[in-house]
Amino acid sequence: MKYISTRGGMEPAPYSAVLLEGLATDGGLVVPETVPEVGAAQIEAWRELDYASLATEILSLYATDIPREDLERMCRAAYSPENFLAEEVVPLTPIGEANGAPLSVVGLSEGPTLAFKDMAMQFLGQALEHVLAKTDRTLNIVGATSGDTGSAAEYALRGKDGIAVFMLSPQGRMSAFQRAQMYSLTDENIHNIAVEGVFDDCQNLMKALFEDLEFKRANHLGAVNSVNLGRVSAQIVYYFWAWLRATDALSEQDRATAKVSFTVPSGNFGNILSGHFARAMGLPIHRLVLATNENNVLDEFFRTGVYKPRGAAETYATSSPSMDISKASNLERFVFDLLGRDPERLAATWGELAAEGQIDLSAELPRFEREFGIVSGTSSHADRVATIRSVHETSGAVIDPHTADGVKAAREYAEAGVPMLVLETAKPAKFPEIVVEAIGETEPLPEHLAELLDLPQRVVEMPDDAAALREYVAARALKP
């Protein structure tokens, strides 16, 4: 399997070579040359596997240049029950029904930082170590986080040899728990930087460093952001896992024709992109419902065909803060498929986006749902509160505000006879204020995290200034 750029300007390269960046050398995003297809019999043969084994099977279709036994060891280490609260790694929890469809939450937040980012980051930590050890290199990860990516990356990479992490976070925009998780780490290879701005400012700062190719080379910069191919590939696994668990109870005959829908709380279009890949591989996914909060750039795109990213000033601080994103860095990969995987059309379209600040793909709008199964919904704070409350009333389950954005959209699109699975993107204990507002109490933190909020914090504050960041990183970057 080789990887190419959405914009056509990169020599095909193997998984290990593109794992560290995700961004292609021509500024596009790397995508598989062809999506590996799996048939119904193959999927059925995977039913008995545990999560780590299923991950090995699926990732071996993408990471074809990593020896199978290495990949298996990496998946075993990443998805060890020691790293996850639930023994099965990803549990499914029924939360009632909507329009005659059973509704379940897919528990992706059982990892060390209680958010779905751990699912991919734990694998990526293993994969990076593997690739760096093989090539005898060091890597300085520069990242931007709205809260969950940063902590998941830091917990996956803390203490790892040859890797340092510089993580930009928006000052005052994360929950107390998110801050405590990241800023309480004292590992020498972890550097927390709080930027005066919102997430998109952090992301732009990070891009400024990466676009300075000389600086990037001199300081061995790497990224584990949302466009990272290792993450996108690892996320595909849980769509297969959840589909298998949702159909376990069916007869063999019914399994063959079973369709399942997924709803995905979205920001950077990373999580749902993996669902799009799983569907393209042959997993019988009926609908992929994209859920947004008040920052509804993607909802607008999937309803109108017009993609118009917004600036920091037009990005609201909401009660589902990890989705406060107004520029979806992975969308280019979907649009590549939408435009028939034609790199020239994609490059022209993205050129137009850069020049005009928006693109109009409304001519393709009927295909969004017909061909790709994607529909979308949006929520307000009041919707989240009402959804957390009603899910608690009907099922006893407590969900977090991002998952609530998902459940709200899932209820709108659920269809009789098609199980609807909502991806749980974080645990409610991370966002206690809104949960208390909704149901008068919140879930306690798992025991091992209860004291986190009281630990001393280590963070550097910085203006929204690329020069200051450059200086800071250069002074502390690991040298080869």
Ligand X SMILES: *Cc1c(COP(=O)(O)O)cnc(C)c1O
Q: Rounded distance, CA 51 to CA 478, Å?
A: 34
Q: How far apart are the first and last CA of the chain?
A: 30
CB atoms inside a 10 Å sphere around CB 278: 25
User: Considering only CA atoms, which of 279, 252, 286, 253 is closest in space to residue 417?
Assistant: 286
Instruction: Give dist(CA 479, CA 139) in Å, integer.
Output: 9
Phi-psi region of 318 (alpha: psi -120 to 50; beta: other; left: phi over 0): beta
- Residue at token pair 């996956």: 156
Active site residue 117: yes
Angle of the 176-183 helix axis to the 148-157 helix axis, nearest 10: 30
- Kindly write down the DSSP assignment for every residue of 30-50, as one continuous string: EEESSPPP--HHHHHHTTT--
CA nearest neighbour of 463 among 283, 161, 197: 197
Any idea what the Cα angle at residue 423 is, between residues 418 and 424, rounded to 5°?
135
Least distance (Å) between residue 197 CB and ligand X: 18
Angle at CA 132, nearest 5°, toward 136 and 212? 100
Q: Are 140 and 479 in contact (CB under 8 A)?
A: no
The conformational region for residue 213 under phi > 0 = left, psi -120 to 50 = alpha, else beta, is alpha
Rg of the chain over CA atoms, in angstroms?
21
Positions in the binding site for ligand X (CB under 6 A):
115, 117, 148, 226, 265-271, 322-323, 402, 425-426
Q: Least CB distance from residue 269 to ligand X, whole Å? A: 5
Q: Which of 2, 117, 308, 430 is catalytic?
A: 117
Nearest to 445 by CA among 423, 427, 463: 427
Residue carrying structure tokens 């696994």: 237
The whole-angstrom separation of Cα 365 and Cα 304 is 7
The Cα-based distances of 349 to 174, 270, 353 in angstroms read: 34, 20, 6
Beta bridge partners of 4: 31
- How far is 445 from 453, CA to CA, in rounded Å? 11
Cβ distance to ligand X smaller for residue 405 or 464: 405
**Rounded distance between C-alpha atoms, residue 282 and residue 284, angstroms:** 6
| Count of residues in the chain | 480
d(CA 447, CA 425): 20
Q: Does residue 285 sit in helix, strand or coil?
A: strand
Cβ atoms of residues 374 and 368 within 8 Å? yes
Write out the catalytic residue numbers.
117
